[in-house]
Homo-oligomer: A and B are copies of this chain.
Amino acid sequence: MEPVRFAMVGGGEGAFIGPVHRTAAAIAGNCRLVAGAFSSDAERARRSGEALGLAADRSYASWQALIEGEARKDAAERAEFIAIVTPNHLHAPIAIAALEAGLPVLTDKPLTDTIAAAEAFAAAAAQTGGLVGVTHTYAAYPMVRQARALVAGGALGAIRRVAVRYTQGWLARAEDAVGKQAEWRVDPARSGLAGAFGDIGTHAFNLVETIAGERMVRLSAELRAAVPGRTLDDDGAAMFHLAGGARGTLVASQVCAGDANGLAISIWCEEAGLHWEQENPNVLRVARRAGPEEIWTAGADRPYLAPQGSRVIRTPAGHPEGYLEAFANIYQDFALAVRGDAPADPCYASLSAGMRAMRFIAAAHASSEDDGRWIDLEDTRA
- CB-nearest residue of chain B to A315: B323
A47 to B372, CA, bound (A): 55
In the bound complex, residues from chain B placing their C-beta under 8 Å from that of A97 are none
Residues of B within 8 A of A272 (CB): 257-258
Contact B280 A320 (CB under 8 A): yes
Q: Which of A7-15, A122-130, A297-305, A352-360 contacts B (4 or more CB under 8 A)?
A: A297-305
Task: Give Cα A3 to B76, complex, Å.
Answer: 25
Stretch with Cβ within 8 A of B (4 or more), from A54-62, A159-167, A187-195: A159-167
Q: Are A293 and B288 in contact (CB under 8 A)?
A: no
When distances are taken between beta carbons in the complex, the residues of chain B under 8 Å from A173 are 270, 289
Chain B nearest CB, measured from A181 CB (Å): 9
A177 sits at the interface (CB 8 A):
no
Say whether A100 faces chain B, with CB atoms less than 8 Å apart: no
Annotate A265-306 by CB proximity to B: 1 below 8 A, 0 otherwise.
010111111000011111000111111111111010001100
Question: Do A268 and B259 touch across chains, with their CB atoms under 8 A apart?
Answer: yes
Tally of A interface residues using CB under 8 Å:
85
Q: Which residues of A from 148 to 200 have beta carbons under 8 Å from B? A: 160-161, 163, 165, 167-170, 172-173
Is the beta-carbon distance between B161 and A256 smaller than 8 angstroms?
yes
Contact present for A268 and B251 (CB under 8 Å): no
- The A233-273 residues at the B interface (CB cut-off 8 A) are 235-239, 247-249, 251, 253, 255-262, 266, 268-273
A 300-349 contacts with B by CB, 8 A = 303-304, 314-325
Q: Which of A36-44, A84-92, A107-115, A218-226 contacts B (4 or more CB under 8 A)?
A: A218-226
Chain B residues with Cβ below 8 Å from A29 are 23, 26
Inter-chain contact A372/B269, CB cutoff 8 Å: no
Question: With A27-B27, A239-B239 in contact, do A271 and B293 touch (Cβ < 8 Å)?
Answer: no
Q: Is A74 at the interface (CB under 8 A from chain B)? A: no
Is A120 interfacial (CB 8 A cutoff)? Answer: no
Check if B269 sits within 8 Å of A247, measured CB to CB. Answer: no
Assembly CA distance A26 to B53 (angstroms):
14
Q: A2-B53, A256-B268 are in contact. Are A222 and B235 (CB under 8 A)?
A: no
In the bound assembly, the distance between CA atoms of A280 and B255 in angstroms comes to 26
Distance, CA A318 to CA B254, complexed state (A) = 13
B273 engages A220 (CB within 8 Å): no
A235 x B260 contact (CB < 8 A): no
Say yes or no for A131: interface residue by CB 8 A criterion.
no
CB-defined contacts of A321 to chain B, threshold 8 Å: 322-324
Candidates B160, B235, B320; contact of A161 at CB < 8 Å: B235
Nearest chain B CB to A279's CB is how many angstroms away?
6
Contact status B318-A291, CB under 8 Å: no
Q: B292 touching A273 by the CB < 8 A rule?
A: no
Sample of 6 more A-B contacts, CB < 8 Å, known A160-B256, A315-B324: A161-B226, A258-B289, A260-B316, A281-B320, A294-B295, A372-B372
